[in-house]
Structures are given as structure tokens and as C-alpha cells.
């Protein structure tokens, strides 16, 4: 089975500077380390200094260039200072990956105003403010907004997270029009990815069941998503903007959760 360890493209971002929000762990950390492995100077950021410094140190130990800047993406002043720090530290900004995200386990009928503000300010408003500030510093470049397959299909108890993720796709299209032709803007829409908050406490039986629902036969890894982000940010995607790219192991291609494992069993029996 092919899986989960895409090979970095040496020198792809040599001399470029990349800012990755929400990069103290999970997908964001994977993206930061991938871009650094491909030659970028990377700004790691998040609210937890210890975790962020650890990511930056791993990058430096691997021969890359990285710095950590603490920022709360709900604070517009922090966002402005973050972009300024990236430019001051490395002399410019070429790639922005908007990845910071939170969610609440609430339905549309029970979410509070605090839930609404918490998710929208972190997952949505910060993407706009960070991209707007970064665009002013970019002679040319790329913005990649990390959304979710919840932009297309969802489940109960994920509001307003699911609404925001659909909104990010629309935001990307608007930014592609307004930031072009010098800056491209695209979205990557991950599905199930093995990170702390999704799989650490998951029973093995549930993990196997979940994997069986994917045409790939597995769920994703941060490296899987980092490879897609790297492609969209790079000149290999020079003619791609305003697009969204599903990276969900084919999950949204399956209409019913039990369809694929049953189908495979019947094929094996024949």
C-alpha cells in the first residue's frame, strides 16, 4: 500500500520565506517542516511557545532555517506583528499557509455566540487578515488556505466549523481574483488526518473501521497534506489559482460508510 511519506523536492523553495499559521503541531507542523526541507525559511507560529520552539528547533536540527513567533490569530494586532516579524527576520515573504483552526462540538441549534466568535475569528477572519497583510509584502507569491472536506459533506455537531470551512473555499476564490496576477490563492481540503485531537484516543477497532471507509485503505498523515500544500505553493502549480483540492483519501467519493468494505469483501469472495 502506498502511503503517508511523500518525498520533499530539494530546493523547491530555495531562498523563499514561508509563514505557516497554526504550526505548533499537527498538519501545520508537518507543513512547516516540509517547506523547510524544500529550502524555505520558515516562520512557525501559534499560541504555545514551547511547542512552537520545538518545531522550529527540529527544522534547524535538520539543516533548515526557522524561527518561532508567538501569535494569537484572534488578535488583529498579533497578526500584523507576525507578518512584520517574518519580513524583518528573513527579508520578505513568498508563501503564506493559513492553517490555524479550532472547532466546537456543537450543532446549529445549540452553538452559542461565544462558540461562533471563537471559531470564526480563529478559522476564518484570521485567514483574511493574515492574507491581506501578507499580500502587501509580496512581490509575487502564493497563499494556501487549509480548509476541510467538511466544506462539501459534514456530520452533526460540527457547527460553525463546517460553515466556516465552506466559507474558506469562497474566500479563496475572492482572494484569487483580487490578489492576482502576482499572488495565487488556493485551498486544500483535508479529510481524516491522524493528529493528536483526532486519533490519539481512538480505539483500534474504530481506527480499522474508519480506514476501511477510504478508497486508499487508510486515513491521512500530516505529511500527506504537507505534500499537497507544497505543490499548490510551488511554481509547479503556476497556472492554478482560485481552486480547492480535496486531500481526503477518497472519503467524499463514498456515499455510505458501509459501502466500500462490503464491496471489497464481495470482490474478494468472488
- What ranges do the domains of the chain cover? 17-202+219-254
Catalytic site residues?
A: 161
Q: How far is CA 45 from CA 86, 116, 172, 186, in A?
A: 10, 23, 21, 21
Looking at residues 120-137, what average pLDDT do you find? 97
From residue 118, how far is each of 27, 74, 78, 203 by CA, in Å? 20, 8, 16, 29
Report the alpha-carbon distance of residue 168 to residue 32 in Å, rounded.
21
Task: For residues 50 and 226, give the distance between their C-alpha atoms in angstroms, rounded to a whole number.
Answer: 22
Q: What DSSP element (H or E) covers 20? A: strand 17-20
Looking at the whole model, is its pTM more than 0.75?
yes
**Cα atoms in the Cβ-side hemisphere of radius 13 Å centred on 20:** 31
Cα separation, 18 vs 148, in Å, equals: 21
**b/e per residue, 213-234, with b = 16+ CB within 10 A?**
bbebebbbbbbbbbbbbbbbbb
Q: Does the CA dihedral 30-123-134-152 come out positive or negative?
A: positive
Is the pLDDT score of 262 beyond 80?
no
**Tens digits of residue pLDDT in 165-214:** 999 999 999 999 999 999 999 999 999 898 776 666 778 888 888 888 88
The listed CATH number (3.40.50.150, 3.30.360.10, 3.40.50.720, 2.40.10.480) that belongs to domain 17-202+219-254? 3.40.50.720
The whole-angstrom separation of Cα 112 and Cα 262 is 40
Query: What is the predicted pLDDT for the residue at 1?
Result: 37
Model confidence over 17-45: pLDDT tens digits? 999 999 999 999 999 999 999 999 999 99
| 187 vs 148: CA distance, rounded Å | 9
Nearest to 244 by CA among 161, 185, 162: 185
Amino acid at each position: 500500500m502506498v502511503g503517508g511519506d511523500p518525498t520533499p523536492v530539494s530546493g523547491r523553495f530555495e531562498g523563499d520565506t514561508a509563514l505557516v499559521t497554526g504550526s505548533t503541531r499537527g498538519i501545520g507542523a508537518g507543513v512547516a517542516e516540509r517547506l523547510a526541507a524544500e529550502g524555505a525559511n520558515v516562520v512557525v507560529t501559534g499560541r504555545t511557545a514551547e511547542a512552537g520552539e520545538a518545531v522550529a528547533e527540529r527544522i534547524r536540527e535538520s539543516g533548515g532555517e526557522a524561527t518561532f513567533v508567538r501569535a494569537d490569530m484572534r488578535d488583529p494586532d498579533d497578526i500584523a506583528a507576525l507578518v512584520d516579524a517574518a519580513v524583518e527576520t528573513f527579508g520578505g515573504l513568498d508563501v503564506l499557509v493559513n492553517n490555524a483552526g479550532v472547532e466546537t462540538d456543537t450543532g446549529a441549534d445549540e452553538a452559542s455566540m461565544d462558540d461562533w466568535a471563537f471559531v470564526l475569528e480563529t478559522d476564518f477572519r484570521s485567514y483574511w487578515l493574515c492574507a491581506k497583510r501578507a499580500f502587501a509584502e509580496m512581490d509575487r507569491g502564493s497563499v494556501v488556505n487549509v480548509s476541510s472536506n467538511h466544506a462539501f459533506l459534514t456530520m452533526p455537531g460540527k457547527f460553525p466549523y463546517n460553515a466556516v470551512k465552506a466559507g474558506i473555499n469562497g474566500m479563496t476564490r475572492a482572494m484569487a481574483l483580487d490578489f492576482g496576477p502576482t499572488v495565487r490563492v488556493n485551498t486544500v481540503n483535508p479529510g481524516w488526518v491522524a493528529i493528536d485531537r483526532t486519533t490519539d484516543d481512538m480505539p483500534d477497532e474504530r481506527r480499522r473501521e474508519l480506514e476501511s471507509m477510504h478508497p486508499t485503505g487508510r486515513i491521512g498523515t500530516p505529511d500527506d497534506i504537507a505534500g499537497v500544500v507544497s505543490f499548490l505553493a510551488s511554481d509547479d502549480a503556476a497556472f492554478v489559482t482560485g481552486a480547492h483540492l480535496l486531500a481526503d483519501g477518497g472519503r467524499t467519493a463514498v456515499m455510505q460508510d458501509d459501502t466500500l468494505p462490503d464491496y471489497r469483501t464481495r470482490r474478494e469472495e468472488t
